[in-house]
Amino acid sequence: MSMNIKVLGPGCPKCKTLERAIREVVEENGFDAQIEKIEDIVKIMNYGILATPAMAINEKVVASGRVLSKEEIKNFILKHLNG
């Protein structure tokens, strides 16, 4: 089952860093995931986050306000996969 991962952020350097790290984790681990970058501030606000960058898996925000390590990203994905 494919998951949808969204990177929420206006395009700042931290947002780009988080997006790159997510793409690397997905590729390195062979996760079946679609990665989408959301830069529209109105759409970002609809997720109810106060700080970017943020990461959402299947529309659920799992982290916001900081760049996650690759290990943290992997753990969020695995936690989601295991229900």
Catalytic positions are 12, 15
The DSSP secondary-structure symbol of 69 reads P
Look up residue 65 and give its two tokens. Answer: 């306000």
Q: Are 63 and 54 in contact (CB under 8 A)?
A: yes
Look up residue 52 and give its two tokens. Answer: 């970017």
Facing residues of 55 across strands? 7, 63
